[in-house]
Amino acid sequence: MPVNENTTTIAHPDRPTHANGVRVIAPARLHLGFLDLSGSLGRRFGSLGLTLDQPTLSLRMQPADALVATGPDAPRARAAVERVAAAFDLDPRVAVTVERALPPHAGLGSGTQLALAAGSALAALRGRPLDARTLTDALDRGARSGIGMGAFAQGGVLLDGGKAAGHHAPPPILARHPFPADWRILLAFDDTAHGLSGSEEVSAMNALPPFEEALAGHLCRLTLMVALPALVEEDCTGFGAAVGEIQARLGDHYARAQGGRYTSRDVEAAMEFAAAEGATGVGQSSWGPTGFALVASPDAAERLAALLRQRFADRPNLSFTVARGRNTGARTDWLAPD
């Protein structure tokens, strides 16, 4: 049955007696769109998103004489450890190794997943497990969306309730449902482009044109009355049609900031091709450049991926992957002594 739990508890296995470290595997996520950028009712944003089974982040942490961090995105991992240690009075002397990072600034939630993985690992290692909402708040993540927090804690397809005016806390998770086992997500990557982040993202958000209340109302109706019911009934066409319309409306709204509906013109061409071949729910996650399309079966997804690789073979910057939805959050494993 679908799960509707508003929980951000992180699952940690009991620590074995002789464990000397911890590894956290955290999932990527797709941000399918904001629902109300106007905030005229007192809450702004509101997000729909889903958790992916690939790519994933892997982070290892062990006690050490001083705080050291190595691997891709090591500075951000170190900063997260320092912040969590200061917020909860935890010993920061650990060795952090980012064994595998998510592609940065690609629309996959790399910053939130890395910060939560590092913070969660430190809390577990020091015997002070913390839930994802508490960690997200302490790490100053979730400024606009709670999808990354929900993906880390529990996975699945997620809806958050936006940010209340004047409140710092991350948006609450309102609904969570499993992603159907037979559905697939085709992902399109452009390794020569990157989405907006940091101060650039803030500036772009502030420069967007006014968001009409009628549009916010329509997107909310699409989510509540079309997308979520179709998801529960495992109607890929219905769910994809709603997601595709949300993406198109938001892409037009963001066009001034990102040069069109998509950040990458090559990804845009690939997604238009996918739609012409029958894929549904095509769009771009966050500011991109990662594009996605929903496909109702594994075989159809693999056929579409093969067609895309053939059609865009002359664009080596593009790559295509078929992913599943992930219905669990981050995984924590205790490490045995060497």
Least confident of 17-26, 98-107, 214-223: 17-26
Token digits of residue 256: 């001034």
Tokens of 12: 């940690």
- At residue 206, the pLDDT reads 81
Q: How far is residue 289's CA from residue 263's CA, in Å, rounded to a whole number?
A: 5
pLDDT at 267: 98
Q: 282 versus 9: which is more confidently predicted?
A: 282
**DSSP-assigned letter for residue 180:** P
pTM: 0.93
The Cα–Cα gap between 333 and 56 comes to 15
Query: Left (φ > 0), alpha (ψ -120 to 50) or beta: where does 198 sit?
Result: left
Which CB contacts under 8 angstroms, 24+ apart, belong to 3-6? Answer: 3/154, 3/156, 3/176, 3/177, 3/178, 4/175, 4/176, 4/177, 5/154, 5/176, 6/172, 6/173, 6/174, 6/176
**What's residue 277's pLDDT?**
96
* 225 DSSP assignment: I
> Which pLDDT does position 199 carry in this prediction?
79
Residue range 6-17: mean pLDDT, rounded: 68
What is the mean pLDDT of the segment spanning 223-250? 98
| pLDDT tens digits, one per residue of 34-84 | 999 999 999 999 999 999 999 999 999 999 999 999 999 999 999 999 999
286 class by beta-carbon count within 10 Å (0-12 exposed, 13-18 middle, 19+ buried): buried
Alpha carbon 25 to chain centroid, angstroms: 14
Beta bridge partner(s), residue 94: 63
Structure tokens of 42? 């007192």
Q: Residue ranges per domain, the chain? A: 21-335
Backbone angles phi, psi at 21, to 5 degrees: 180, 180
What pLDDT does 316 receive? 97
Cβ(326)–Cβ(199) below 8 Å: no
> How many CB atoms neighbour CB 265 within 10 A?
13
Q: 198-215, pLDDT tens digit by residue? A: 778 778 888 888 899 999
Model confidence at 7, pLDDT cuts 50, 70, 90, reads low
**How confident is the prediction for the chain on average, in pLDDT?**
93
Per-residue pLDDT, 204 = 81
Q: Which amino acid is at 159?
A: L
Helix axes 198-206, 236-258, angle to 10 degrees: 90
Average pLDDT over residues 290-300: 98
d(CA 100, CA 110): 11
pLDDT for residue 338: 67
Structure tokens at 330: 């981050």
Pairwise CA distance, residues 16 & 240, whole Å? 44
CATH of domain 21-335: 3.30.230.120
- Which pLDDT score, from 0 to 100, does residue 1 have? 36
Q: Give the DSSP H or E segment for 21.
A: strand 21-36
Q: What is the pLDDT of residue 334?
A: 93
Is a pLDDT exceeding 90 seen at residue 3?
A: no
Task: Please report the pLDDT score of residue 53 as a whole number.
Answer: 98
Residue 4, pLDDT > 50, answer no
pLDDT of 103 over the 50 cut: yes
Measuring CA to CA, which residue among 174, 148, 179, 170 is closest to residue 160? Answer: 174
Q: How confident is the model at residue 229 (pLDDT cuts 50, 70, 90)?
A: very high
Out of 170-179, 190-199, 290-299, least confident range: 190-199
Instruction: Note the residue count of the chain.
Output: 338
The pLDDT of residue 243 is above 60: yes
Q: How far apart are CA 325 and CA 307, in angstroms?
A: 22
**Taking 60 as the threshold, does the pLDDT of residue 115 lie above it?**
yes
Q: Which tokens hold the place of 220?
A: 């909310």
